[in-house]
Structure 1
């Protein structure tokens, strides 16, 4: 299905601007369009490989000893699995994900389906809290069942300065339960350099009734960094989580609506709001 590009600027009665990273933005927009939601893609988070990925090979050597490896995103799966040293077998520990996109990436990479813990695709939220509800009992049993301290490796991204991206909520829960938490940086998340055509799209879409879909508050921050003088009081945003909605409201977006994280429910919600 062909998507409208940033250079195709004919106004529509309404449309959704999908701001996820490039690969995910295309997949998400195609899925929404298939459900009757007109979309354009404007990736506001750029995903890049690590400049020195050798550390990931070392992280791989310790994978068999972990209770689980938690992946924060499909990109975390792709970059981490690509770094698996030649000849090292697939892991036999559990993999955790917070949503169906990450779970699909794990399956595509060959992680055994029976070893994946992830919220159901119809869950109201895809976040650390939903994942914790699934794994808490297993974690507590592991802590109580052995003399050694179980460990979990969290695979995530970092910004260009090396600062970890994402929340620490799950790490705190795991540490409070008695687990050792390790972190592995698998990729870099950075602000994209918007083209002139994309900048035109931005300035049009904040005032023409378009709905900006945010599944990360980082994407909204990147938008304001690229175009700091936008009339946000006239703009409409859709947020996939209450935390994102709150940050958008605090940033001055004139209209902020909360939509479900799952694609099918999200499409119906967006159409009801348009």
Structure 2
């Protein structure tokens, strides 16, 4: 009988718990183990408030993640309604869902097609944005303090006036004793566990997090037992980061719970 491994969902909270709920509803054992935490800027941050004030003159607000949506929408003025003619950009289904939950109309959401081979800025550009006339148009990119700049640069090359807004920062998470115990179980029995990676930066944080919780010595790197745990990555760049980090069994899977369940269901524990 094929037994599905329990998958570590490494997204920040609250997305990690949301994914665990969706996976478990499909019969897939899962456990939240965030490798990054999100710290939004205060709702009265001057740059955030200035961005809201400038929206009537903006063509596109690009949200790089669900966390960008949550952090930006926290500063929404009372009674503010998404106006006609303002696009809300999203690279993946999680961000699309966050925009819908925040009340952004479907007609205003610019995202890759649902049948896209992968969800990223390049696909968004090809599927939705490249046909727009961007010369002189204002674009706001809601992001973390650091991030990938491919889409911003591409929009600038097409004449857009791009303004980045750092609406949150990524920081180390605080693991609970139960989460540390699950990692110890994975070290003892790698075949019973799997990783789900949705961020290259999160993978890079893992060695320091293990050391901070006493699971490895400082500077030791990732132990062979954890590197033997199968890893799913939601994008080719993330898969490449996992391989570079030493993970031996890396597979790509779209950021869709059903796709993840199918990928994990074929592994025997």
Assess same fold via TM > 0.5: yes
Distance between the aligned counterparts of 2:248 and 2:110, measured in 1? Answer: 38
- Give the CA deviation at 1:47: 1.4
Distance 1:64 1:231, change over 3 A: same
Which residues of 2 match residues 208-227 of structure 1 at below 5 A? Answer: 208-209=190-191, 210-227=193-210
Counterpart position of 2:228: 234
Runs of 4+ in 1 over 3 A off after TM superposition: 86-89
Instruction: With the length of structure 1 as denominator, give the TM-score of the two structures.
Output: 0.84
Of residues 121-130 and 39-48 in structure 1, the stretch that sits farther from structure 2 once superposed is 121-130
Partner residue in 2 for 1:125: 118
Q: Which runs of 5+ in 2 are unaligned?
A: 217-221
* Structure 1 residue 89 displacement after superposition: 4.2
Question: What value does the CA root-mean-square deviation take over the aligned residues?
Answer: 2.0
Give the superposition deviation at 1:235. Answer: 2.9
Tell me if 1:49 matches 2:40: yes
Structure 2 Cα separation of the partners of residues 223 and 111 of structure 1: 35
Work out whether 1:150 is the aligned partner of 2:137. yes
Q: Which structure 2 residues correspond to residues 1-274 of structure 1 after superposition, within 5 A?
A: 14-51=5-42, 53-86=45-78, 88-92=80-84, 93-139=86-132, 141-143=133-135, 149-158=136-145, 164=146, 166-206=147-187, 207-209=189-191, 210-228=193-211, 229=216, 230-232=222-224, 233-274=227-268
Q: Distance in 2 between matches of 1:39 and 1:120?
A: 28
Q: Is the 8 A contact 1:100 1:120 kept in 2?
A: no
Question: How many correspondences in the alignment?
Answer: 251
Q: Which runs of 5+ in 1 are unaligned?
A: 1-11, 144-148, 159-163
Q: Which moved more, 1:27-36 or 1:48-57?
A: 48-57
Q: TM-score, normalised by structure 2?
A: 0.85
